[in-house]
Structure 1
Amino acid sequence: MVGCVGCFWGLLGCCLVAVCSFSFLSPAWIVRERGGRRGAAAAPDDEGGEVSFGLLWHCAEPWRRTRDCYAFGGLARFGEIPSGSWQTSAVLCSGGCALLAFSSLLAVIVIFLPGGACERRVCTLASYIQTAAVFIMGSGLLVYPFGLGSTTVRRHCENSSLYYAGDCQIGWGYMLAIVGVMLSVFLPFFAKYAPKEHASPTPIPTIL
């Protein structure tokens, strides 16, 4: 018998893995709109066009030019990420997302397992992994704004500093990552009720 809570738990976990993966690969964590630089002259490489930063991507769309995106991350180019805080955030977010994906796979497996001790153990293991994933990804999101004071970001976002984006603003990618982590908090609670068999209530003794 397939449990409704288990199915919802597995479906929610898979959806949140997709959301977190999409947001972590997005280049729109920090965004500067077209003509967003105030006061100082625009840098010659962007000419006042749109600029956006993500965990692993940087995009620029100068005036009268096509959009240009490139990755400054990856295993071979990890050191090109412009801030140690962003490097730490990339490791934490990608690691947390990987843990969330593994726990979601366990949640899907639970759907097809027969009720019993094995099913409960898998649910417990998945809930622990999901809890760890939430803390790891949340830590990565908290560390990311520390990189706003780096030289590369300050060159595009005038007066940016720790937890202040200057002429830039928070993009939809970062907000989507926050929403994904916040929803992931509920996964360990659903794991508690995912097993198909629960302890039956204590029977009322029959009075002879």
Structure 2
Amino acid sequence: MRGPVLPRRRAVLALAAALTGLAGLAAAAPASAADQTVPVAQLMAEPPLPDLWMGSKDAPVTMIEYASMTCTHCAAFHAESWPTLKSKYIDTGKVRFVLREFPLDPLATAGFMLGRCAGPDKRNAITDLLFDQQKNWAFVDKPVEALENTVKQAGITHDAFEACLKDQALYNKVNAERDAAGKEFHVDATPTFFINGVKHPGELSVGDLDKILEPLVKS
């Protein structure tokens, strides 16, 4: 679902009522979706938002994840598979990884905006926090209020929260990131991964990751 572009005079906060209940719309692509290969150079072309890479720039594997902050499958991947991916492959220099924004609703857009407003050094910590506590803010009666209370744990004040969600230019860039992925790479659900250019739609288990990555890091 794609939310409307907000007028400059109004914050995303003003859409709190409209956001209620939207978070549950995130979904994973069906497992039967055919893999697709995209040239790595095309994937690496400058996106609407600057990439915040993790891992060695010389890693043999480049891995891109398109996710939505309100996607339950994305949160499950983050909880169950991400720790192994990071420790076994990213921290050891085998995989270079980046998370790109693909919000499926306005609440997810707001979550990503807050990550970007926190700055490059804190963005991943914000997305980690929001995935870890997704059920506490994304699926509640007052999601915007719950979102603010959640990011307070990372030091984001009320004034900073409001200022961030009034940033029309950032709002447009986050959604442009999603739109570009849909148009150029045919991403239509989350999570979707590109591993050395090969598209892998849907949540990946630790076993899936090992099966895909081991031949690539040993080649």
TM bracket, shorter-chain basis:
under 0.3
Q: TM-score, normalised by structure 2?
A: 0.23
Radius of gyration: which is bigger?
Answer: 1
Q: TM-score, normalised by structure 1?
A: 0.24
